[in-house]
Amino acid sequence: MLAVLSPGQGSQKPGFLTPWLELPGAEARLRWWSALAGVDLVHLGTQADAEEIKDTARTQPLLVAAALLAAEQLPIDDADLVAGHSVGELGAAALAGVLSGEAAITLAGVRGREMAAACALEPTGMSAVLGGDPDEVVATIEKHGLYPANRNGAGQIVAAGAKEALAEFAAAPPTKARVIPLAVAGAFHTPYMAPAETALSVVAGGATVTDPARLLLSNLDGSVVTEGTEMLRRLVGQVTAPVRWDLCMRTLAEKGVTGVVELAPAGTLAGLIKRELKGEGAPEIVTLNTPDDLPAARDLIARHGKQGGAR
């Protein structure tokens, strides 16, 4: 069984789209998507520096566009399952057929702009918590008035909330845990993003959706979503809801996934899976970062996808 994954914010790197623009039609596609997203995706993916592509309003449509651009070079119809991390869920929803590519890009543009605006309302942030007992980590996060915004598995939980509370949390971390402040604009996936959720809901209400053509996982609880309208509701609600990537990885294991392709810019989700799904039965993984990685990705799909022999 083959899973195709779409990464989220933080996976971007300066110039990562440059080699993709050498493919026929790629630049024209990005120019079209730029008009929909309201940002220059070609510039952001090729010439922009790390600081510019860290901007939430720019990063979110850039990541969805990158995933869809890479996926167009693959036989996605042979994928059994798709999933995305945070904004990557918009890319996954498009790959599952719930949204058109144009709708996913448009919603990513709105999502990014509105979340950036929400971040500007008050000083908030996020910190990664590495190690420690997960239950104790979550309890300590909540004791400080913070939120466990991301539960990524592999010993990684992200705390989010007011900057003052984050500083107090870092000064008294959970047992055997390290707290690392993240360079993000604000407290994503918490109630602080409520204005963004409201704004995204208004636009998403006009989107055309269909039911998924393949298994589609939700960050809300790691479950398989079978109705397009339900997935759209979850995509909107995800702005303020925690990302449960740990539960998504659990579902990958339960479904018997044997092969994983992580779309560009790849590496983050592959790393989490390698640390979480170890030993016998661990899936074979291909990280798709440049067109040079396409042969390996196509080979993996041929061996593990719907048309392959490994189930």
Give catalytic residues, as residue numbers: 86, 189
Do residues 45 and 18 touch, judged by C-beta distance below 8 A?
yes
Instruction: Tell me the C-alpha distance between 255 and 66, whole Å.
Output: 27
By residue count, the chain amounts to 311
- Strand-by-strand arrangement of the 284-287 sheet: 215-216, 81-84, 2-6, 259-262, 284-287
Question: Quick one: which of 100, 61, 106, 121 has its CA closest to 203?
Answer: 106
- Give the span between the Cα atoms of 186 and 188, in whole angstroms: 6
Scored b (16 or more CB within 10 A) or e, 26-36 reads bbebbeebbeb
Is 84 exposed, middle or buried, given 0-12, 13-18 or 19+ CB atoms closer than 10 A? buried
Rounded Cα–Cα distance for residues 71 and 282 (Å): 23
